[in-house]
Homo-oligomer: A and B are copies of this chain.
C-alpha cells in the first residue's frame, strides 16, 4: 500500500450571518470537486464550516439552534457527503453538534473516501467566556454554547483510502496546546487535521496584536508541534471579514520537520494541495522523538495534576 496521501487544505473565505446554508454548502462542494480534480483523497475544511462563527454573538432560541447539527450527516449537509463519496474523496469537517442527550459540542468528523466515518472529535480547549462581555460589539462565547469535549484526543487508523494513516483531529484553539499534540503523538499520529476560526485582531480593540502576528502564532504552533511529534499537520482557516469581524487566513500544510510545504495566500476560498509521504514521520519517531527511549513521564507530574499556575514563593527579603 502506498504511504503517500494527497491532501487538500480547503481554506474558506468568510461566511456571513445572512448567507443561506445551501450557498455555503455549494462553496464547500466546489472546493471538494476542485480537490478531486487535482487528485486529492482527503479534503480538510475549517472549524464550524457550515456556518458563520456564531459564538461572536449573544444568541438564544432558534437564532442559536439554527447553527447546530442534530445528526451527522443530516439532510442539510447530505449533498456534501454524497458528492464526496461519488468522487472517492474523504474529508475532515468542523460543525456545531447538538447531541441526542441535549449537550452541545464544537465537533469535527473524519469521513473516509468510501463514505464511512473514521472518527469523531469534540473540542477540548474552548476559548472565550460563559458570560458576555458587557458593552462589547463582538463576543467569544464558546464556553457558553459548548460543553468541553471529554474524550481526550483519540487517534484513528485509517483504511487504504487514506493510505492507512494514523490520524488525529483538533479544532482551532486546541492547536496552541502542546498537550493535545502530545496525546496524539503518544498514539503514533502521522497526520493531524485542524480547522480554525481565529480572530485577526481583538474586534473590541485593546491587545495590540495584528493579523500578521496572529497568523505567525498560528503557523508557529502547527510547525513546532508537528516537528515535536514527528507528524504531518494540515491547518485550515475560515478567513476574512465575517460581518465586520476579521479572521486570519494562513492555512498551511506542515511536514514532520516543521516546515511549511504549502501556505494560503488569500483570505478567500483557496485550495492547497500536497503529497504527504507518511513515511517521512519515521525518522523523527525512531530517533529524536523516540518517546519510549527519551520521555521521562515521572518528571511531568504537574501537567496532569493541576490546570493553573503556582508561582514559586517570593524570596526572603535580604
Contacts and interface: CB of A to CB of B under 8 A. Distances in A.
Interface of A: 124-127, 148-150, 152-159, 166, 173, 176-179, 181-183, 185-188, 207, 213, 216-217, 220-221, 223-225, 227-228, 257-259, 283, 285, 287-289, 291-315, 318
Given A179-B295, A287-B207, A312 B157 contact: yes
Nearest to A202: B287
Nearest to A311: B188
Contacts of A187: 302, 309-312
Contacts of A299: 124, 149-150, 152-153, 179, 183
Given A157-B314, A183-B301, A216-B259, 13 more contacts: A125-B296, A126-B294, A150-B299, A153-B299, A166-B312, A177-B228, A179-B300, A179-B303, A182-B303, A183-B299, A187-B302, A187-B309, A296-B307
B296 A124 contact: yes
Contacts of A292: 307-309
A124 B298 CA distance: 10
Contacts of A311: 155, 157, 166, 187-188
Contacts of A221: 224, 227-228
B183 A303 contact: yes
A17 B3 CA distance: 45
Contacts of A150: 298-299
A140 B314 CA distance: 40
Nearest to A155: B312
A284 B69 CA distance: 34
A61 B156 CA distance: 51
A283 B208 CA distance: 10
A187 B310 CA distance: 5
B224 A125 contact: no
